[in-house]
Structure 1
Amino acid sequence: MDRNEFADFLRRCRARLAPTDVGLGPGARRRTPGLRREEVAQLTGMSTDYYARLEQARGPRPSRQMLTALARALRLTDDERDHLFHLAGEEPPRDRGTSGHVPPGILRVLDRLYDAAAQVTNDWGDILAQNALAAALVGDVSARPPADRNMVRRFFTERPGPSLTPAADRERHARTHVANLRAVLAARPDDPGPAALVAELRSGSAEFAALWEAHEVAVQRSSITRFEHPMVGLLELECEVLLSAEHAQRLIVYTAQPGTESYERLELLRVLGLQDLTV
């Protein structure tokens, strides 16, 4: 690992970002341009001390998961992400199918949707990035291990227990998840991610296996989605799905019709979620 070059690259990438570039408020006047170290640490889920040591060329060699988090927090392009990995002495991810690296432009859109719940997923269900309201709505995935960030896996393996999906809607959601996954697998049969997920769920979930045998195919599209949220109650939200074909990713945005009870509850959840983030 080239610690000096790694540290210099981190400092320069941090200096070129404004707080508004990453969805943060401008805050008090800053003596120097760019994000503060503690803000980058917050965005990556590491301690400020750990990040400071990386910038001072005296930190430990970061894990691949941490490098990915840094690339996302600093809004690196694919080329810059690969450079960061090389400086750390790691081989960059070679995305044989779907990419886990969210393009900076998509992240900027995500950051600006402060009054809508929005998250970026790959096309087979891994949640790659969330804004604060999405974390409050469906749960913050940032601290979960990578295998626990897949929506389809969690849907079919977390029972019994409380669910955000109303019981009356479960069958429809289950069929949609399976039909979408079948379409993805057929489009990219050599992609190891969706193939492994299908194999795992066919052997581990009788519900999934039965639906898979039905051979239904459908790509996830915009819809009306209901959530039974433990804090604010039932929400009926408009789900818009925006596609990034190049990266096989989706920006999923949940909004409510103004003037409705769901709109008021989503606004309440936004306030409660932001309060929770400050404790």
Structure 2
Amino acid sequence: MTSKQLSLAVRPRGKPIRGLPEETNISASDTAEQLYKKIAAESKFSIHRLRITKGSDGAAIPNSKDVTVHDTGLRDQSTINVKDLGPQIGWQTCYLIEYAGPMLIHPLIYFLRPYIYRNATEPASHQQFMAMILVTLHFLKRELETLFVHRFSLATMPFFNVYKNSGHYWLIAGLNIAYWTYAPTALAATHPDPRIMYAGIVLFVIGEFENFRAHMTLRNLRKPGSTERGIPQGYGFKLVTCPNYMWETVAWIGIMLCTMSASTAVFMVPAVGQMAAWAKKREYRYRKEFPDKYKKKRFAILPGIY
């Protein structure tokens, strides 16, 4: 690997970045990650807000320690464009905020029923209580997995995402499901069915447990602080590309049986659709990154369906 010093012309892409140098010098054997750090230090700008692309063809330069500057195709007198991605927020922080909404909203509405519903003269049914417990446990599990299980390949995301994601969880999974599920006129209150409730609890427990196992499999593919990818193996991954999404769906079917409310389906349909789209993209990525090792899957998320 050559260690030749390169002189790169630096140009802003989009809005100006105060302090961005017009030129920078770096060794061809340095990593792309070092290039990002150098530009960030020279411009006194957050490295997480920067995106660097090649001036010649607009190809993105990854912020990676596994790729050298020479590998990116940059040569002496090449031009790089630097874009300000705007305010950022950590993936973990965003997840913690968005999941906190429904985790707090459901118990709050459940215990404040007499003050929210004018005709709430009778206590909540046992099925309504179990629905509240299942939803709260689901999002508590997500919070704990965010803190102790998930490893993120990217450090940050655009700050706007916290509003978009929180709107989805706080309003649709939180207020929407809770308001209709704990109402005195809800089916879970007027026509509770223990058979449906217990079936829902069984599906919920199976779905959450298997979802956790799939998450642990994915976690063990990546070392702490690494962005390397691997091929997941084991139970569930032989059936579909993303069994974690499959079992997430099973758990929500269990919740829907307990709530006996169409409001749960209003949250589930777009959520499962989004997970299916993510799973399909992951299947394409596995096939591209591991063409000789990866065993192609016919179904991305639901066996026999999609």
Q: Give the shorter-chain TM-score range.
A: under 0.3
Larger Cα-atom Rg: 2
